[in-house]
Structure 1
Amino acid sequence: MASIFSKIVKGEIPCHKVAENDDFLAFLDAFPIANGHTLVIPKKEIDYLFDLDEELYSKLFLFAKSIVPALEKAVPCLRIGVSVIGLEVPHAHIHLLPLNSMADADFGKKIKVSQEELAATAEKIRNNF
């Protein structure tokens, strides 16, 4: 069964895309814990991050790293945090989190943002590449 992320990759479910190449996709989390909360995924559907082969694993993190400068320019913060949890969606993914304090990394606290706000944030990030 295809994960929600595979459906996003196929264009069956819309997303606020930040960056993309042949192997990876980065888009804003629809239920963010911080403004600019970005998900980075391999397009290939693999459930567990540590099941990625070494090359895909390395390239995924390098792709995520390439997004950070644009994200930092678009969403002022002290640091971009990285989190890998892997329980909420059965598709390997990395969370990029703009942080100003440790409290900003609380996955139990979602912030409310409209689709318009998500679209504007995604555009700001894309414009900073």
Structure 2
Amino acid sequence: MTTVFTRIIAGELPGRFVHRDDEVVAFLSIAPLTTGHTLVVPVAEVDDWTTLDPALWGRVMSVAARVGAAVRTAFDVPRAGLVIAGFEVPHAHVHVFPARDMTDFDFRNVRHDVPATELADAQQKIVKALGA
């Protein structure tokens, strides 16, 4: 069955992309831990990150590192959080987000009511930081 991420990648569902290439995409989470929370996702529909081809896993982590540096710059935070959970969507992905302290890692604090204008602003800031 096609995942929601596959549908976003294909353009069937909206996504606020900050990175896209043939192997890996990165788009904002609609349920962010913090403003700027980005999901780094392989284009290939693979359920579990431990079964990804090592070269593709390396590409995912390379993009995650670039996005992490960009969210640190864009949101002026001391760290970029990185979490691999994998329970929400059966499509391997990495969560990258601006982190001020360990409370920013608590998934009980995700926001489900983020205005589209806030997502658009976050997307613009990350894209700008990636281009810098």
- For residues 110 and 68 of structure 1, what CA distance do their matches in structure 2 show? 19
| The structure with more helix, counted as a fraction of residues | 2
Mapped to 2, the partners of 1:103 and 1:67 lie a distance apart of 20
Q: 2:40 touches 2:93 (CA, 8 Å); kept in 1? A: yes
Q: Which residue of 2 aligns with 1:16?
A: 16
- Say whether residues 1:57 and 2:54 are aligned partners: no
| Distance (whole Å) between structure 1 residues aligned to residue 126 and residue 58 of structure 2 | 23
- What is the TM-score when the length of structure 1 is the normalising length? 0.95
The C-alpha deviation readout for 1:4-24, integer Å capped at 9, x for no partner, is 000001000001111111111
Where does the alignment leave 5 or more consecutive residues of structure 1 unmatched? Answer: none
Matched position secondary structure for 1:128: helix
RMSD: 1.0
CA–CA distance in structure 1, aligned partners of residues 69 and 82 of structure 2? 14
CA distance in 2, matches of 1:6, 1:124: 25
TM-score normalised over the length of structure 2 = 0.93
Give 2:114's aligned amino acid. V
- TM superposition shift of 1:69: 2.2
Deviation at 1:85, TM superposition (A): 0.5
Structure 1 moving runs of 4+ over 2 Å: none
1:102 matched to which residue of 2? 102
Q: Secondary structure of 1:64's partner? A: helix
Query: What is the letter of the counterpart of residue 18 of structure 1?
Result: V
